[in-house]
Structure 1
Amino acid sequence: MAEKLKVSRELAWALKDLFARKKDDYSYDEILKLHYEALKGERWKGETWEHLNKLSMAEMAQAMFIGYEIEETPEEQFIKWYKDFCPAIPGDAICLEVIHKTIEILGIKIKGFNE
């Protein structure tokens, strides 16, 4: 089974806005025609829709017919891993200290972790 397209938050907003207009303004065929024209040089315009220029025809079709989901940022992936990992090793203070110190040394600030 084909997978949903992973996209940035900005691209997800653009797709959501575009597909919401599908019901009233555009059919799927019209959206694909507009995207084809954008790839040939017409370009999607506007603060929201300009992100659509990053998609190939195949990716636009995948987002349309299979769906899309927001790709987690590296920070979000870390927090998810950290929350899953830490309860699995209660009392392993050395391991947790290494994680904290590594993040500190690298100068990385992660909301929900050390910020």
Structure 2
Amino acid sequence: MSEIKRPVITKEQAEAIQFLRSGGNDWTDDDILEHHVTSKWFNEYAPLNNLYTIVLAAALINGYEVEKTPEEKVREYYESHGGSPSAEERKAAIRETLYKLGIKIEGVNA
């Protein structure tokens, strides 16, 4: 049997799903899908408008992964380098690039 693949959704989409399922809303997956097909989402739920129905259904049934932010991707890349001299040179290049761009990332250069 093949492995079930969980869709990757944005943090905002994940928060909207979590809020629908909790916080006194208690929408069922059927309720969420029916609304998604027949209506438009507004306010804090608006990020769900950018999901195809099949992707939303997969997220509700199989679970989902939250897309990493650019900062998280850089931090993960930075941390993937070991402590060898060549790795330290790459880390220094990453820090210098972020400095020149005026970007601070916790765990990398902040």
> Which interval holds the TM-score relative to the shorter structure?
0.7 to 0.9
1:8-23 map, 5 Å? 8-20=10-22
1:47-62 map, 5 Å? 48-62=44-58
Pick the aligned partner of 2:77 from 81, 84, 89: 81
| Percent of residue pairs identical | 25
Residues 54-78 of structure 1: CA distance to partner in whole angstroms, max 9, x if unpaired?
1111011011101112111121011
1:1-80 map, 5 Å? 1-20=3-22, 25-38=26-39, 43-46=40-43, 48-80=44-76
The amino acid across from 1:109 in the alignment is: I
Question: Where does structure 2 lack aligned partners over 5 or more consecutive residues?
Answer: none
Shift of 1:108: 4.7
Residues 69-109 of structure 1: CA distance to partner in whole angstroms, max 9, x if unpaired?
21111210111121121xx233344333322223333x051
Question: Where does structure 1 lack aligned partners over 5 or more consecutive residues?
Answer: none
Shift of 1:19: 2.4
The amino acid across from 2:5 in the alignment is: E
The amino acid across from 1:30 in the alignment is: D
CA distance change for structure 1 residues 99 and 31 in 2, over 3 Å: closer, same or farther? closer
RMSD: 2.3
- C-alpha distance in structure 1 between counterparts of 2:93 and 2:29, whole Å: 51
Q: In the alignment, what sits opposite 1:101? A: 96
Runs of 4+ residues over 4 Å off in structure 1 = none
CA distance change for structure 1 residues 90 and 20 in 2, over 3 Å: closer, same or farther? same
CA distance change for structure 1 residues 104 and 29 in 2, over 3 Å: closer, same or farther? same
- C-alpha distance in structure 1 between counterparts of 2:84 and 2:65, whole Å: 33
